[in-house]
Amino acid sequence: MQHPIGIGLAGLGNVGAGVFKNLQANRALLRERLGLDLEVRKAAVRDVARRAEEGFPPELLTNRWQDLVEDPQIRIIVEVMGRKEESLQLILAAIAAKKIVVTANKALLAEHGRDIFEAATLHGVPVFYEAAVGGGIPIIKALREALIGNHIISIHGIINGTSNYILTRMREAGLSFPEALAEAQAAGYAEPDPSFDVNGWDAAHKAIILASLAYGFWIPPEQISVEGIESLTAADFRFARQLGYAIKLLGVIKATSSTPGSEIEVRVHPTLVPEKHVLASVNGVFNAVAVHGNVVGETLFYGRGAGQDPTSSAILCDIAEAAEALANPRRNLGFMPHGLYGRCKPLDAVLSEYYVQLWVEDRPGVIAQVAGILGELQIGISSIFQPESPDEGAMVPLVMMIHTASHAQMRAALERINALPCVHRLPRMIRVEHFS
């Protein structure tokens, strides 16, 4: 047996502690499967004394991440600090020192992936990041390797467990958003500050990473459309159920074609999903990613999208692959750019079907006024649903399902509809996906 391969851990928080624990527990298993021994030689933390009190070996601890880069016996660095600026410094320094990097930092990759992989290409050092998307779901490896012979037609992903738990409870228990969020926090599924989960940006960072793998270029975050779940109400779920839909926070990634210079769509937003579709039944903290390839057809990846053990399982996979890459250098360094796709499609040009909910006065002529505006803008209505009101003149909901239209058309229509005297409250618009 060769000398152990030295590993440096940057961070011993929830995920880092899980990596350390599970690597120690499964070290013999990995040794048997790889023919290589893996050993944590050093861990960089902010508070050495605190981590020592928690039971981590004091001799492994340092408060300088630079010690990981400077140690010649450390050949793989696992970055799980979660801080973007400092993490970027560490990763670039590690690459320059010819050390293989494993990271779970989705925000960092989404915002600085181009810089990281330019450095990786310059120095010939691979970067692995399976845990950045989907927790324990092996979606990165699938896109990079198993589906390499496919043009990716589309990816639809439920890729944030916190928001999916909240939406599940709103649907199943009729809770309001604040009630469902409080329940998620009490259960430990939501952070004290849940902003990035509920405003859609956690899922958006993951969508950018998936899009980069599928389409060969890094998309600037400012070019994608992101909507959160904060404005959804229990009424939305009641009406969606009556129409045969569930509501999910969905990451949608699509190609217009596979010809050179083609556009792609990358968007994250609440979405009406037909109840018969498999994604509608993905509940609680679970994630699922549906990938449609032109050769393989439809595939589905399902599992826990976060948590100490699912995430550390993905990191262990990357560590094992990094260890093999040390013995057998590879051409694919984690991201392979190509020129088939050129840019992100502008939001105004994106086509979709829509659910629109209005609160209107219950009197004759209201529907005609709304339908007239839609007709003038060449927007078709596929169905209208309006609960009966016991009191004529009362304010009532008016729900419409809209045929395919562009975002620009719908934006113009809702601005005009909102200005009608008979319309009260801002119109609510949710996109509909049929996965055709």
- Compute, in degrees rounded to 10, the torsion defined by CA atoms 386, 388, 390, 394: 10
Task: Spell out the residues 6+ positions from residue 90 whose beta carbon is closer than 8 angstroms to its own.
Answer: 10, 65, 68, 69, 77, 79, 81
Alpha carbons 265 and 267: distance in angstroms, whole number:
6
Asked if 233 and 355 count as a contact pair (C-beta separation under 8 A), the reply is: no
Asked if 68 and 167 count as a contact pair (C-beta separation under 8 A), the reply is: no
Place of tokens 């960072």: 205
CA 68 to mean position of chain CA atoms: 30
The angle subtended at Cα 151 by Cα 220 and Cα 225, nearest 5°, is: 30
Query: Which one is catalytic: 99, 206, 248, 345?
Result: 206
The angle subtended at Cα 176 by Cα 174 and Cα 178, nearest 5°, is: 145
Residue 277 three-state SS: coil
Give me the DSSP letters along 130-182: GGGSSTT--HHHIIIIITTTS-EEEEEEE--HHHHHHHHHHHHH---HHHHHH
Catalytic-residue membership of 206? yes
Helix, strand, coil shares of the chain as percentages rounded to 5? Answer: 40, 25, 30
- Count of residues making up the chain: 436
Catalytically annotated residues: 206
